Structure 1
Amino acid sequence: MSDDGESGESLKERIETWMTGQMPIIQMHGGNSVVRKADPESGEVVIELGGSCAGCGISNITADNIKSDLIMDFDEVTDVQVKVPSSGDHGSSTVEGGRGGELQYGNESPNHF
């Protein structure tokens, strides 16, 4: 679907836009998301979920959907990590669609579900 970003947007910006359009359920359920890393050269993407995603019983399903969809929708994406913080705290920069920039995943077990 996406290639080299003809619009001039970085991969990170394109993934943030994608998250807004494809994952509105995150925000609808009180969660939020942040694109921490999007490296078009290595294909690595790191997404952090926060808010009510922490401790949510279906956050593993959300994470799996994000992983598979990003790999399918962005040619340059080959590896996706979705991290969930150890608490429900979230930053003040969260914006419409569940994307933002203030979350920092917990260090206890950042990949827990």
Structure 2
Amino acid sequence: MSAEKLERQTRSYLSDNVPQIQEHGGHFEIEDVDEATGEVTVAIGGACSGCGIAPMTMKAIKQRLAEELDEVSEVTVRRAGGPRAAVMPSKTDEMEDMDEYEDYSPPF
């Protein structure tokens, strides 16, 4: 499969299955795809940057994208940089390690 097709499938999956990102003022970017290994890197930003459930959203994307798309072997999800960078990176870093997020399964 070509990198372009893998990127399209990833973008389509996220748009269709994680609409909350865009509905709540966030965005996602497909930063990298490696068609040879099936590795995909996704960044989320905008309103997601300071959102309290962003770590759960990131965890769900990482797990479910690899489960749903056979061509994807590994997913890296991170916060977007640049002008769309996290507005509260220290808080969201702390949230990623909170026990409350360990077993949470978002409804998407």
TM-based fold match above 0.5: yes
Q: Where does structure 1 lack aligned partners over 5 or more consecutive residues?
A: 91-103
- Corresponding residue SS for 1:67: helix
Residue in structure 1 matched with residue 20 of structure 2 by the alignment: 25
Which structure features the higher share of helix residues?
2
Q: Deviations over 1:70-100 (max 9, x none)?
A: 111111212111111368x43xxxxxxxxxx
**Cα separation, 1, equivalents of 2:34 and 2:59:** 20
- Corresponding residue SS for 1:83: strand
Q: Percent identity?
A: 32
5 Å-filtered alignment, 1:92-103, equals none
**Cα separation, 2, equivalents of 1:46 and 1:85:** 11
Cα gap change, 1:13/1:86 in structure 2, threshold over 3 Å: closer, same or farther?
closer
**Cα separation, 2, equivalents of 1:41 and 1:81:** 16
- Alignment length, in residue pairs? 91
Q: After TM superposition, which residue ranges in structure 1, 4 or more long, deviate above 4 angstroms?
A: none
Cα gap change, 1:32/1:76 in structure 2, threshold over 3 Å: closer, same or farther?
same
For residue 13 of structure 1, the aligned residue among 8, 11, 17 is 8
5 Å-filtered alignment, 1:57-96, equals 57-85=52-80, 89-90=83-84
Q: Deviations over 1:31-86 (max 9, x none)?
A: 00011112121121100001011121111110111111111111121211111136
For residue 50 of structure 2, the aligned residue among 35, 55, 60 is 55
Question: If the length of structure 1 is used for normalisation, what is the TM-score?
Answer: 0.67
RMSD: 2.8
Question: If the length of structure 2 is used for normalisation, what is the TM-score?
Answer: 0.70
Q: Which has the higher contact order (CA 8 A, sep 6+)?
A: 1
Q: Where does structure 2 lack aligned partners over 5 or more consecutive residues?
A: 97-108
